[in-house]
Amino acid sequence: MRAHILCRERLVRILRILKRHPEGLSVREFARTFGVLAWEVEQAAELGWLAIETRKPHTGRPARVAVSVNISKPAKLPPLFCDIEKRISFRHQHFALHSVFPGDGQAIAYRQAFPKAHSMKGVAASASRLLRHKDVMAVRAWAFARMRRDVPDEPMPPTRGRIIQRLNQCRHSRTSVGWP
């Protein structure tokens, strides 16, 4: 699951919908008719691509309506979907952390992370395949660095890129201080 960050493709879709409805569209209608979630519309408003107004009718509840704005100043473009880094799966983390400790074989660690696996041959094949996954390799590198005390006692970052970045920072700070 990716973090709640608006991507450029979703912004283009929101703007295309608003172009067809120049009078504006309620945030609820965005969600119900077009499948655009409220947080996406709110983030587009924060970036300056549209405005959210509250319209109160004579009777009933007020509606939050998104309307397009004339962009005179340059608004910030969100990143592309492919540039938003995915979080590491909980099951992959679970497998990687259990496969690091001695005594736990990879097949047993795989059975702990994926309890519905059927045959042990399939479990062994899947475990060896999962060990080559880049997210699992990053979590295992973090766990080994924690066991060697190369990394301070802090929670593991949620994405592979941040894990690698933090491990490199710890390695450079250790060599510059003169640690063994």
pTM attached to this predicted model: 0.63
The whole-angstrom separation of Cα 107 and Cα 125 is: 9
pLDDT in tens, 30-85: 999 999 999 999 999 998 889 999 999 889 899 999 998 876 666 778 888 888 88
Ordered alpha helix ranges (H), 48-179? 90-100, 106-113, 120-131, 134-147, 160-177
Say what the pLDDT of residue 20 is. 93
Pairing mode, strands 63-68 and 25-26: antiparallel
Instruction: Look at residue 177 and tell me whether its pLDDT is greater than 60.
Output: no
Cβ-proximal residues to 17 (8 Å cutoff; 6+ apart), any chain: 25, 30, 34, 36
